């Protein structure tokens, strides 16, 4: 392959990755707020032996977190717990995605 062809292919993959990451929770998502909301409200039920079962960002891959939030499992679960706005759910989704099992920085501690 020629250098120009390799550069074009690399550019395509770069932009695909960039746009797929941006599509996760939108440009306005705040993963720091998502972490705060998760730790303050969700994590208390999502530990070993509790009703919600053990759950943390690194228990799922990025695609699994996307599927979880797209299928409205998070919305169903929150009916039993805290009431979040759509923006809050996007923030939590972005935090979970950023620290998923297959991310660059998986969340290993709760």
8 Å CB contact between 60 and 68: yes
All domains of the chain in start order, with CATH:
3-98 (1.10.760)
Task: Compute the distance between CA of residue 35 and CA of residue 32 in angstroms, rounded to an integer.
Answer: 5
Residue 6's pLDDT is: 55
Q: Are 81 and 11 in contact (CB under 8 A)?
A: no
Report residues of the chain scoring pLDDT below 70. Answer: 1-27, 74-82, 108-110
Query: Can you tell me whether residue 5 is helix, strand or coil?
Result: helix
Reference 33, options 81, 85, 75; nearest CA is 85
């Amino acid at each position: 392959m020629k250098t120009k062809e390799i550069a074009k292919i690399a550019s395509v993959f770069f932009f695909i990755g960039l746009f797929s990451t941006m599509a996760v929770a939108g440009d306005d998502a705040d993963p720091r707020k998502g972490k705060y909301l998760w730790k303050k409200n969700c994590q208390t039920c999502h530990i070993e032996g509790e009703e919600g079962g053990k759950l943390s960002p690194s228990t799922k891959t990025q695609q699994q977190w996307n599927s979880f939030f797209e299928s409205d499992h998070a919305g169903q679960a929150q009916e039993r717990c805290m009431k979040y706005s759509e923006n809050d759910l996007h923030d939590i989704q972005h935090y979970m995605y950023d620290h998923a099992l297959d991310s660059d920085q998986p969340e290993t501690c709760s």
